[in-house]
Amino acid sequence: MENKKIEFNSLKIEELEDLFLSLGEKKFRAEQFFRFMHQKKNFEIENCKQLPKVLIEKLKEIGYINTSSIYTKYESKLDNTKKYLIKLYDNRIIETVFMDYGSYCTVCISSQVGCRMGCTFCASTKENFKRNLTSAEMLNQIYLIENDLNLTINNVVIMGIGEPLDNYNNVIGFLKIINSEKGKNLSLRNITISTCGLVHNIYKLADEKLPVTLTISLHNPFQKERREIMPISDNFSIDEILKACKYYFDKTSRRVSFEYTIIKGQNDSKKHALELKNILKGLNCHINIIPLNSIKEFDGVAPSTKYIYVFKSMLENYGINATIRKKQGDDINGACGQLRQGVLQEEN
């Protein structure tokens, strides 16, 4: 695939219209092509019968539709969770998870091939970072699953492999394309972005004034202890992250959530609950407690279910809104912190 060619399904509708105008075409042709890719979820330019054959040939000369495919699907025997291994155009593999909550369904998508954040308890960062995903490759994860299961995805969480704010421009492109009324038209309020705290890009995201839900991977309220499990803490302190969160709320009026992976004997004591109260005072927020999901490279374990509820009660007694995330897909390594990327050899 030539790098100089245009990746059509990563273009926002306005960018596609400008491109078609530059080719001497009418804007409505761009809208037809945009709907073809993002409503009909079609990956073959030749199948866009609404466009004249001459235009199709012209498009094939200057660009392409980035295609992905389902490599393998794993189905949980514990619930209706499904984990997909998605094969990208360069034969790299990412993982995407479908979760069924009855009244709605959610897809957890990846934003990078690998991750460079280095969190010790997360499988996604155990293999070297390879590259960012394009906006199209993030969209394709959703479209492939919708086509496979013959349903509509109501909610999207960008919590899979990678740090979304480390791939800022492509994530913003993804948001604007998926929200377009000429495409999938998914409400931005139904999208959650998870970050370990890239402060400069939290401010940038706030200034976009997009009403997405921001969730911070906090995992420890003490700077020194957090640094031991999250190397990113060397670059961005908890105080800096919280200031950025307040700015985000002021700009968007959207409540910020904090992910808190609870690890027995490391971040589950009364002192941790009290410090959470201290640092989050005055911030409109919510804590999502995540029982640690095991990976072979980390020897920590989750506290007992009974104790996790005790910790939740501590937080609530301190006036903090808290929930415990339900485990889903644990038997297929599809739970939070268990997603990995892999590399396939070039196929003959």
Is 30 in the same domain as 119?
no
Pick the last residue of a domain from 24, 45, 64: 64
Is 338 in the same domain as 276?
yes
Is 56 in the same domain as 108?
no
> Is 2 within any annotated ligand binding site?
no
> Is 105 within any annotated ligand binding site?
no
The four Cα atoms 198, 199, 204, 205 give a dihedral, to 10 degrees, of 60
Q: Is residue 342 pLDDT above 80, yes or no?
A: no
Q: How many domains does the chain have?
A: 2
> Is 219 within any annotated ligand binding site?
yes
Q: Is residue 337 pLDDT above 80, yes or no?
A: no
Q: What is the pTM of this model?
A: 0.93
> Is 122 within any annotated ligand binding site?
yes
> Is 163 within any annotated ligand binding site?
yes
Is 151 in the same domain as 287?
yes
Is 229 in the same domain as 124?
yes
Kindly state the DSSP code that residue 295 receives in the 8-state scheme. B
pLDDT tens digits along 34-79: 999 999 999 999 999 999 999 999 999 999 999 999 999 999 888 8
> Is 68 within any annotated ligand binding site?
no
Q: 93 by DSSP, 3-state: which?
A: strand
Is 58 in the same domain as 87?
no
**Neighbour count for residue 236 (Cβ, 10 Å):** 18
Query: And the tokens for 338?
Result: 């268990």
Pick the last residue of a domain from 38, 64, 90: 64
Strands in 167-223 per DSSP E: 191-195, 213-217
Q: Is residue 234 pLDDT above 90, yes or no?
A: yes
Is 167 in the same domain as 87?
yes
Sign of CA dihedral 15, 17, 22, 23: positive
Question: Which of the residues are catalytic?
Answer: 95, 336
84 to each of 146, 156, 237, 332, how far by Cα in Å?
12, 15, 35, 10
Q: 110 by DSSP, 3-state: which?
A: coil
Q: CA 81, CA 76: separation in Å to the nearest integer? A: 5
Q: Which domain holds residue 25?
A: 6-64
Q: What percent of the chain has pLDDT over 70?
A: 93
Pick the last residue of a domain from 64, 84, 103: 64
Is 141 in the same domain as 258?
yes
Is 149 in the same domain as 242?
yes
Is 39 in the same domain as 102?
no
Instruction: Give backbone dihedrals phi and psi of 244, rounded to 5 degrees, phi first.
Output: -65, -35
Contact indicator for 251, 244 with CB cutoff of 8 Å: no
Radius of gyration of the chain (CA): 21
Is 223 in the same domain as 309?
yes
> Is 108 within any annotated ligand binding site?
no
Which stretch of 125-129, 174-178, 330-334 has the lowest confidence by average pLDDT? 330-334
The CATH number of the domain holding residue 14 is 1.10.150.530
Query: And the tokens for 98?
Result: 């479908």
Instruction: Give backbone dihedrals phi and psi of 223, rounded to 5 degrees, phi first.
Output: -55, -45
